[in-house]
Amino acid sequence: MSEQVKKFLYVNRKAPYGTIYAQESLEVVLIGAAFDQDVSMAFLDDGVFQLTKGQDTKGIGLKNFSATFRALGDYEVTKLYVEKESLDERGLTLDDLQNIEYEDEDDDYAEKPSIRLVSRAEMADVMAEQDVVLSF
């Protein structure tokens, strides 16, 4: 790559179903990951529900795309920032979220967690260091 690598952050604030934002965001992330940029995702407000485990969409006739988050490691998207306050406000903890891992090629393919719990203040820092922030 001759061009400079930019830092992209995709911010997810909405619940997974009901609107198309969550699924579209994930789709854009997967497409964007093909361009060798530094891609990460942030989950705050109702967006934290996107990562919950045990989702069942049979009753609403929509595709359960939550499994796709576990493929992000294959696309080298390995930083999923989750805001602690948003979890707290919804009575959720890390245990309510899916186990999402990636293989670290620089560390003998060791499996490492992709989800990084950050405080609201830390989330602001994460956003401040990006070149591009896209909100969904």
Partner 1 sequence: MAAYDVNGSAVEHDEEGYITNLSEWSKDLADVIAAAEEVNMTDEHWAVVNFLRDYYEEYQIAPAVRVLIKAIKKSLGPDVGNNKYMYELFPYGPAKQACKIAGLPKPTGCV
Question: What does the binding site for partner 1 look like in residue numbers (CB under 8 A)?
Answer: 27, 30-31, 34, 63-65, 67-68, 70-71, 74-75
Q: Whole-number minimum distance, CB 113 to partner 1, in Å?
A: 18
Q: Whole-number minimum distance, CB 51 to partner 1, in Å?
A: 15
Q: Whole-number minimum distance, CB 34 to partner 1, in Å?
A: 5
| Closer CB to partner 1, 65 or 85, in the complex | 65
Helices (DSSP H) in 13-58: which residue ranges?
21-32
- Residue 100 and residue 70 in contact, taking contact as beta carbons nearer than 8 Å: yes
Q: Whole-number minimum distance, CB 28 to partner 1, in Å?
A: 10
For residues 102 and 15, give the distance between their C-alpha atoms in angstroms, rounded to a whole number: 24
Helices (DSSP H) in 3-135: which residue ranges?
21-32, 84-89, 120-128
| Closer CB to partner 1, 53 or 63, in the complex | 63
| Closer CB to partner 1, 21 or 65, in the complex | 65
| CA nearest neighbour of 13 among 55, 54, 41 | 41
